[in-house]
Each structure stands twice: as structure tokens, then as C-alpha cells.
Chain A
Amino acid sequence: MTAYVAFFVLAALAVGSALGLVLRRNPIHGALFLVANLGSVAALYLTLGAEFLAAAQVIVYAGAIMVLFVFAIMVLIPGKEETGPDPRRPVRVLAAPLGVLLFLLLAFVVARGTGAPAGAAAPGPTTIGALGRLLFARYLFPFELTSVLLLAAMIGVLLLARKKAS
């Protein structure tokens, strides 16, 4: 019972903050809504028994990535964003029915897939240790590739953002 209450409270928080991100005009408000959304999803990870991912979500997403976003917004947006009439309004109005259509499609897939057999017992209390062993055994190569990816992204950002030396 309490699990259901927690799920629905967190789900309402997540959906409400996602709608706030999409519908508010001010990008700073959007960024704060996204932080709330990421936090509630982290709490949902906790209810699914993924403690390490909840911590990583708060540290990586809500910490690092959102700080980057807020920094970029503060640097780039001079406080007057998305003012004036939208020149493409007739096209953008189509987004709502298309979104509903996409959701119906996804809901159809989810409803069809609920008959899948449940697996073995849920992971035990040593989830984090087992996850680490999995990462460094079966997923060792992708794990190392991830570090190469991050290095490439870092170098790419440096190349993009430097001033032209002319």
C-alpha cells in the first residue's frame, strides 16, 4: 500500500515537472523543473532497488549536467526568450495530436507486453557489488569505450569552444 502511495506521488511529481519544463517559457524555470524531474526519477530508482543508479542520477544528472545547463542559460540567454509571435505556429499545433498518438502507440505496446513472464527472484541486497562485478566482467569493453567517448567529447568541446587564433 505504501509502495503504491510512494509510486503515485513520485509519478505525479515527475509528470508535473516534465510538463513544467515543456510549457514554461523561461528556460531557467525549465531547468529547475528538470532538476525536480530527475530527482523524482532518482527516487523511483530507489523504489526499484537501484540504489547506485539513484545516487549516480543525482550526482551526474542533477549535479553535473544541470549545472552545465544552468551555466549555459545564464551565459547565453539575455532574459528575453521566445518572445514575439511564433512564425511556425500552424505547424507546431500539430504537435499535440501527434504526441497523443505516440503515447497511445507506446501504451498499446506496454499493455500488450504485460503478459511477459516474470524472471527469477529480484536481485538481493548485494546489488551494488553485483553491479560492479557485472560492469567489470561482462561489460568491461563497453565500460572502457565509455572513457574513450568522454575523452573524445572533452577534446571536441575544447576544439569547438576555443577562440579563433586570428
Chain B
Amino acid sequence: MGVPEHYYVALSAILFTIGVVGVVIRRNPLVIFMSIELMLNAANLALVAFGHRFGALDGQALVLFVMAVAAAEVAVGLAIIVVIFRARRRLSVDDLSVMRW
């Protein structure tokens, strides 16, 4: 009847890999953040697939928590980026090699 769950887990692996490559190759911190969202999303998809396979709802509850953590992380991260932009007037992760200046 339904699609086997390991198809979903394989798709999740593909999306996670794309997110990792995005974090590594991009220079814009905003795009790096979006790639991190991509990875979180891939993990969520795997959690839902596993939950579906075992007939348990715990995976879905965990996904809800991951979403809340992602929202908090994005808010704090974007605030940090705004502060860095105010101090530096440009955005490139290659320039940000010191923690304070």
C-alpha cells in the first residue's frame, strides 16, 4: 500500500547531505543558516518516517520540539548576523575569524 519508510529515510539522507554541502561551500551566513534549516528538516523527515514505521507518535512529538528549537535558533542567529553587519558593513564568513574586535 504505502511507500516503504526507507525511501523517506533515503530522501532525508539526500537532503541532509545537500544541507551539509551548502554550509561548507557558501560564504553568505544567511544562506548557511538556511542550509542548517534544510538539515534540521531532513532530520525531521527521518523522525516522522521512523515514527510511522513503528506506529508510535513519539517521533512526531520530537519533531515539534525540533521546530521550536529551530525557531529560537533562527531568531538568535539572525540577531547576531544583524549585529555583525552593523559592526562590519559586510557579510562574509571568511572575514569572521575572531570572536571579538
Contacts and interface: CB of A to CB of B under 8 A. Distances in A.
A121 B45 CA distance: 20
Nearest to A147: B68
Contacts of A142: 65
A33 to B, nearest CB: 9
B98 interface: no
Interface string B60-82: 11011101111111111011111
Contact of B24 (A98, A116, A146): A98
Given A18-B38, A48-B48, A77 B67 contact: no
A30 B3 contact: no
Contacts of B64: 53, 56, 135
Interface residues of A, number: 82
A92 B20 CA distance: 12
A61 B41 contact: yes
Contacts of A120: 54-55
A41 B80 CA distance: 28
A53 B46 CA distance: 13
A37 B38 contact: yes
Contacts, number: 214
A131 B78 CA distance: 31
Contacts of A161: 79, 82-83
A27 B62 CA distance: 30
B2 A3 contact: yes
Interface in B1-36: 1-4, 6-11, 13-22, 24-28, 30-31, 33-35
Contacts of B45: 41, 44-45
B36 to A, nearest CB: 11
Interface of A: 3-4, 7, 11, 14-15, 18-19, 21-22, 27, 30-31, 34, 37-38, 41, 44-45, 47-50, 52-53, 56-57, 60-61, 64-65, 68-69, 72-73, 75-77, 81-82, 86-88, 92, 95-96, 98-99, 102-103, 106-107, 110-111, 113-114, 116, 118-123, 127, 130-131, 134-135, 138-139, 142-143, 146, 149-150, 152-154, 156-157, 160-161
Given A21-B34, A76-B82, 19 more contacts: A4-B3, A15-B18, A47-B3, A48-B8, A50-B48, A61-B70, A64-B71, A69-B30, A73-B30, A95-B21, A99-B20, A119-B53, A122-B52, A131-B57, A134-B58, A149-B68, A153-B75, A154-B75, A160-B83
